[in-house]
Amino acid sequence: LPVPTLRTRTPTPPHAPINPVKAQLLVIESAIKSMEERVETLTMVVEDEELAEANLQKTRDSALEMQQMLKDVVKNLPKKLPGDANAPSSNSAAPFSPITTTNYSLPSQPSPSESSTTSSIRSTLENPPSITLVTENELSSLDRSARGRVTIGAINDAVSSVNECLLEKYQQLSQASKGKKTKKFQQFVVDHRETVTEEHEGRPFVSEQHLRDSCAFFRSGESTAKSILNILRSLKKIKQIQGKGGRVTYCVL
């Protein structure tokens, strides 16, 4: 009889070594995750700094407002106070003689020392020029790269929003120019004077921050809003002007 042979099980090899490419991918994924965490941290830091900057800006605006109010008070003081030794006696002048503008600087009659900015404000306060709506022919005249995918309806909705901001701004400036010395109206005048430049050439304008705060087309997306403003610039309907402190304004052409 044949002698039976014993079958031995081949030992299983140890775990295969980790693929070097896979190991490198794991390292890269870990590095990416770490970078994302750092970006998130930096974003929070930037947001905190922007908030602090906004608070400082409000403090600065309040100080400028107070300074302007003090200037207005000083400007409206009479040059000759009652009881002045050099003032004429009651016997030498009529007791109810009219007050002339040489003695008082009335808010309704500005002195020649007022800046030309105030004159340019008052000339366009009641009915500021507005941006005309975009027509199909105007939009078709632009390159497709300049038009992008923005529809003419979205563009004209944005134009209407900008016109509303312009009208609101200049109506409030009109109230301030009529002698209303409240804190709210004075702040509008201060903000306007800080943003006006020679490039505006007396034309009405609105700041980009005002549009961001008030217009719906900015809330629909930064890229869409910028595309719409670039289209209006290409059609010579508005002009972008960068003023003091990097403040961006859009002037009506």
Confidence check: pLDDT of 6 > 60: no
User: Cα(247)–Cα(74) distance, rounded to whole angstroms?
Assistant: 30
Overall pTM surpassing 0.85 (yes/no)? no
Residue holding tokens 């961001």?
Answer: 212
5 or 155, which is more confident: 155
Tell me the percentage of the chain whose pLDDT exceeds 70: 69
CA atoms 139, 141, 146, 149: torsion sign = positive
DSSP state of 246: G
Written as six digits, the tokens of 33 are: 């995750």
Confidence check: pLDDT of 26 > 80: yes
pLDDT reported for residue 143:
87
Mean pLDDT of 197-215: 89
Burial class (CB within 10 angstroms; exposed 0-12, middle 13-18, buried 19+) of 86 = exposed
pLDDT reported for residue 17:
60
pLDDT reported for residue 134:
94
Show me where the domains of the chain are located.
20-78+101-109, 116-252
118 or 210, which is more confident: 210
Tell me the percentage of the chain whose pLDDT exceeds 90: 20
Shortest CA distance to 148 belongs to which of 253, 207, 46, 228? 228
pLDDT reported for residue 10:
59
Residue 235: pLDDT band (50, 70, 90) is: very high
User: Cα(97)–Cα(99) distance, rounded to whole angstroms?
Assistant: 7
Query: 221: helix, coil or strand?
Result: coil
Mean pLDDT of 101-128: 50
Average pLDDT across the chain, whole number: 76
pLDDT reported for residue 14:
57
Mean pLDDT of 231-247: 90
pLDDT single digits (tens) 136-171? 999 999 888 888 888 999 999 999 999 999 988 888
Confidence check: pLDDT of 232 > 90: yes
pLDDT reported for residue 132:
93
Of 47-61, 71-85, 231-245, the range with the lowest mean pLDDT is: 71-85
pLDDT single digits (tens) 62-102? 788 778 777 777 766 666 655 555 544 444 444 444 433 33
Query: 62: helix, coil or strand?
Result: helix
pLDDT reported for residue 92:
45
Encode 4-25: b = buried (16+ Cβ within 10 Å), e = exposed. Answer: eeeeeeeeeeeeeeeeeeeeee
pLDDT reported for residue 54:
78
At how many degrees (to 10) do helices 183-195 and 152-177 cross?
120
250 or 175, which is more confident: 250
pLDDT reported for residue 219:
83
Find out if CATH 1.10.10.1890 is the number for domain 116-252.
Answer: yes
